[in-house]
């Protein structure tokens, strides 16, 4: 693996890690719920 390929791979891994972390954070904050966090619309069926 040449250095350029390695750098691209590292950047991709970091990007994926950031996206996954933000997804987990949103889920904890309720932003990832089907109702968008507004349980008056889903009547609590989102879980
Ligand atoms: Zn809901």
pTM beyond 0.85: no
- Extents of the domains making up the chain: 1-30
Average pLDDT over residues 1-29: 91
| Ligand 1 centroid to residue 44 C-alpha, Å | 5
| Ligand 1 centroid to residue 18 C-alpha, Å | 25
How far is residue 47's CA from residue 39's CA, in Å, rounded to a whole number? Answer: 9
| Ligand 1 centroid to residue 30 C-alpha, Å | 8
pLDDT in tens, 16-41: 999 999 888 877 766 656 777 778 87
| 3-state DSSP percent of the chain in helix, strand and coil, to 5 | 65, 0, 35
| Ligand 1 centroid to residue 32 C-alpha, Å | 10
33 touches 42 (CB < 8 A): yes
34 touches 27 (CB < 8 A): no
pLDDT, residue 12, reads 98
- Dig out the tokens for 17 from the structure: 């890690």
How far is residue 18's CA from residue 11's CA, in Å, rounded to a whole number? Answer: 11
């Amino acid at each position: 693996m040449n250095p350029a390929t390695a750098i691209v791979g590292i950047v991709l891994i970091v990007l994926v890690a950031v996206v996954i972390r933000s997804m987990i954070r949103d889920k904890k904050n309720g932003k990832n719920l089907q109702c968008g966090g507004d349980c008056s619309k889903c009547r609590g069926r989102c879980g």
